[in-house]
Amino acid sequence: MQNLYQIFDNTEQRTTETIAALDIGSNSFHLVIARVVADAVQVVNRVKHKVRLADGLDEKSCLSDEAMDRGIATLESMMESLSGVTPDAIRVVATHTLRRAKNANTFLRRARKVFPFPIEIISGAEEARLIYVGIASNTNNEGSRLIIDIGGGSTEFAVGKSSAPQLCKSVQMGCVSYQKRFFADGKITRSAVEKAITAAEQDLELACANLREFNWQYSVASSGTAKAIALVAQPNDSEQFHPFNQHDLQLLVARCIEKGSADALDFQGLTEDRKPVFAAGLCIMLAIFQSLKLKEVEISQFALREGVLRELQGQQTSQNVRVRTAQSLATRYDVDTQYAHKVLKTSMSIYNQVKKGWQLEEAKFRFMIGWTSLLHEIGLQVNSRGIQKHSSYILSNSDLPGFNQDQQRVMSAMVRFHRKKIVKEDFPVSIEYTETCIARMLTILRLGILLNVNRQVAFQSAIECSTQDDMLTLCFSDKVLENNRLLQADLNKETKYLKTLGITLLIE
């Protein structure tokens, strides 16, 4: 008999890559590990822990120590599953609860001690976009679709036809938050159910008005609430998630009221950990059906995690999304793109010379300087006076697909101080970017803008840049400054502004 260990010796092995996505949700933490073979994603491991992070949010939107402890312990337990996966192939996203928690950075700092991978807090719209990508990339249905995902703290919607959605919406209501609000004592009464459904319809009013402007052929729901409803509605087939309709939901609501409490929900297909939030999720789903006049909803086994995996599979995908975001902003706010590219070119010239000395070699620093160079003037359409404030406000309060919350805050701060006075105390507390890195990136951005202050003429002269600790030296070619007294005066003024950052600017 042939030696079993030699059977695959002559078998050609394809190149594979292992990638991992972790979704830090309001109700559960989900980890998916997959390998990419011939452009196909094959899931090799799934880990799910019910953490109920949203239970720890108090009325002031602060996360309790107990909830943090649960979350940190869960992250620590997931480290073993992630061993062997390269850090660049791991993406961790956090959703509603950490978006809302005022002390989210406390959680992130504590998490970093036991979990070394960056945690991105993404916006509701970005969450909806990734859910759509996860479902669209794993379905054979052609035509337009509506995506619904009821989470623990928020509910996401997306409408689209191709692999990219046309509209993304997030509503602050979820099965955990509604459970705390309407079913905190565990009792399920007709009065509580009616209040929950009415409240959900009120929360949905604006989002549904936007969604109704689109036509879709399919309605698809994902994640725990939708799956639980499908399993309970069709208890005889636990292997398949069948579509359900409004009549199914109304029957389930009546059955829940008849049972009277979460503990008494002994429905076939309903797990113990889903019982406490089942009625709340059911009320939200019924409100969605009624508000959007849905006939039937199909179930997808794919969601946010698969969307993250999809974008990890093609590393340029997220970058392409950011490109589309930048293009959209430029069009919407009528950005002078020729001038923006002049600033970008100068900023990148300086960056390339100082990145090693200033420890800014990672791609994330280059991209941050690049995006802020291109978008620093989007507030000009509001008013030329205080342009930096207007630009910062737009970047802070817009949905920016492809960017996480941390990146958005840093971009907003850099644009806020791209000219004139710098208030270092107003820099955001960032997990991904240290204060020193923000100061150095801002310095490069400010100089890229200053050297193009005469926006009609591109700055052509070569500049040699060198750094030593927090000292930056600019060397201009012969007689450049002599022939441009205004530029010399602007640079002299800039040396004073940069002292606020602890940076010494020398001009030679």
Residue 408 lies in a domain: yes
Output the domain CATH number for residue 63.
3.30.420.40
Pick from 67, 138, 149: which is nearest to 101 by CA?
A: 67
- Asked if the structure places residue 503 within a domain, the reply is no
Of the three residues 458, 480, 501, the one that is the final residue of a domain is 458
**Which residue has better confidence, 323 or 73?**
73
| Mean pLDDT, residues 267-289 | 94
Q: Are residues 221 and 356 in the same domain?
A: no
Q: What is the pLDDT of residue 1?
A: 46
Q: Are residues 174 and 234 in the same domain?
A: yes
Is residue 337 located within the same domain as residue 415? Answer: yes
Instruction: Indicate whether 222 and 349 sit together in one domain.
Output: no
Coil, helix or strand for 30?
A: strand
Residue at 143 is within a domain: yes
Average of pLDDT values for 127-140? Answer: 87
Q: Measured at the alpha carbon of residue 76, what is the angle toward residues 74 and 80, in degrees to the nearest 5?
A: 110
278, 294, 311 - which closes a domain: 311
The verdict on residue 498 lying in a domain is no
Q: Please check whether residues 96 and 225 belong to one and the same domain.
A: no
Task: Kindly state whether residue 65 falls inside one of the protein's structural domains.
Answer: yes
> CA of 12: how far to CAs of 3, 33, 42, 111, in Å?
18, 24, 19, 41
Q: Decide if pLDDT at 314 tops 90.
A: no
Last residue of a domain, one of 249, 284, 311: 311
- Supply the pLDDT for residue 318: 59
Is 87 part of a structural domain of the chain? yes
Same domain, 116 and 249: no
Q: Which tens digit of pLDDT belongs to each residue from 43-98?
A: 888 999 989 898 898 889 999 999 999 999 999 999 999 988 998 889 999 999 99
CA angle (493, 494, 499) in 5-degree steps: 105
What confidence tens digit (pLDDT) does each residue in 445-483 have?
999 999 887 765 555 567 888 988 999 998 887 677 777
Which CATH number do you get for residue 194? 3.30.420.150
Domain that holds residue 21: 4-121
Are residues 358 and 439 located together in one domain of the fold?
yes
DSSP string, 243-269: -EEHHHHHHHHHHHHHH-BSTT---TT
136 and 277 share one domain: yes
- Report the b/e string of 187-211 with b at 16+ CB within 10 A: ebbeebbeebbebbbebbeebbeeb
| Position 2 confidence tier, pLDDT thresholds 50, 70, 90 | low
For helices 246-259 and 190-211, what crossing angle results, to 10°? 150
Burial class (CB in 10 A: 0-12, 13-18, 19+), 82: buried
Question: Is 354 in the same domain as 408?
Answer: yes
Per-residue DSSP letters for 323-392?
A: HHHHHHHHHHTT--HHHHHHHHHHHHHHHHHHTTTTT--SHHHHHHHHHHHHHTTGGGGT-STTHHHHHH
Asked whether residue 94 falls in the same domain as residue 144, the answer is: no
Burial of 271 (0-12, 13-18, 19+ CB in 10 A): exposed
Give mean pLDDT, residues 353-375: 91
Q: What is the dihedral of CA 369, 375, 376, 378, to 10 degrees?
A: -170
Look at residue 317 and tell me whether its pLDDT is greater than 70. no
Looking at the domain assignment, is residue 465 inside a domain?
Answer: no
Say if residue 144 is exposed, middle or buried (CB neighbours under 10 Å; 0-12, 13-18, 19+). Answer: middle
**What CATH number is given to the structural domain containing 446?**
1.10.3210.10
Closest CA to 195 of 165, 173, 214, 211: 173
Across the range 336-361, mean pLDDT stands at 91
Residues 149 and 260 in one domain: yes
Domains: count for the chain: 3
Shared-domain flag, residues 238 and 324? no
Residue 499 lies in a domain: no
**b vs e for 2-17, b when ≥16 Cβ sit within 10 Å of the residue's Cβ?**
eeeeeeeeeeeeeeee
pLDDT band, very low/low/confident/very high, at 278 (cuts 50, 70, 90): very high
